Amino acid sequence: MTWLAAQPQGIPLPKPSELSAPHWEAAKNGELRVQRCENGHYVFIPLPACNYCWSTKLEWVKTSGKGTLYSMSIVYRPQTPAFQIPYVVGIMEMEEGWFIMSNVINAELENVKIGMPLKVTFTKMSDDIALPYFEPA
């Protein structure tokens, strides 16, 4: 069995933009926030206007952090040597109907399957960045 954990310090970390800053600011407080327009459409990754109705009235709303594993790949050749292998990259289909990429952690590798329920868990990587990983719900 292989236990999946958060990556160590030293991996490349996000450099928030003006547009994305609220997402990363919320992550530091343990919240998964995403843009939602006045008509209820979720937008991720962030945009200046909704890509469904083009409303520019977007709010960073707190989400449940719950979803299911939509697709996954177990990576054995790291992007750079900073990453510990193996790690699981996944696309999460969130309860509210939006998608996010992340890693699945706090699980045995052998038990990670498409369709499994997951929830967000944050790991502090630096003073500025906490990463939203996902673990079995």
Partner 1 sequence: MTKVNPLHGAAIVGVYNTKQGRLLEGETSQSLVLEATLGAIKDAGLTPKDIDGVISGGWGGVSGPGDMIRQLGSRPSWFGSGGADINGVMNAAMAIGMGLCETVVISSAQAGAYRDHSGTAPWVRPTNEFVECWGLFTAAEFALLAKRHMYKYGTKPEALAEVASAIRMNGSKNPGAVYYGREATPEDVLNSRMVADPFHLLDICTTTEGGAGMVLTSVEKAREMGIKPVYILGAAVEQQGAAYKEPPVWDKFGWSGRWGGKKMFEQAKMTTKDIDICEFYDNFSFDVIRLLEVYGFCGEGEGGDFVMGGRVRIDGELPVTTDGGLMSFSHPAMPQAMQRVISGVLQLQGRAVNQVKHKRVQNILTENYGGGALFTNQMIISNQPAQQ
Q: Within 10 A of 39 (CB to CB), how many other CB atoms are there?
A: 11
User: Which amino acid type is present at position 87?
Assistant: Y
- Which member of 35, 63, 103, 121 binds partner 1 (CB under 8 A)? 103
Q: How far is the CB of 104 from partner 1 (least distance, A)?
A: 10
Task: Compute the distance between CA of residue 104 and CA of residue 113 in angstroms, rounded to an integer.
Answer: 10
Rg for the chain, CA atoms, rounded: 15
Our separate counts of H helices and E strands in the chain read 1, 10
**Binding of partner 1 at residue 14 (CB under 8 A)?**
yes
Query: Is the backbone peptide bond immediately before 132 cis, with ω within 30 degrees of 0?
Result: no
**Per-residue binder mask for partner 1 (CB under 8 A), 52-91, x = binder:** ------------------xxxxxxxxxxxx-x---x-xxx
CB of 19 or CB of 137, closer to partner 1 = 19
Query: Contact positions toward partner 1, by CB under 8 A?
Result: 7, 11-17, 20, 44-45, 70-81, 83, 87, 89-91, 99-103, 114-115, 131
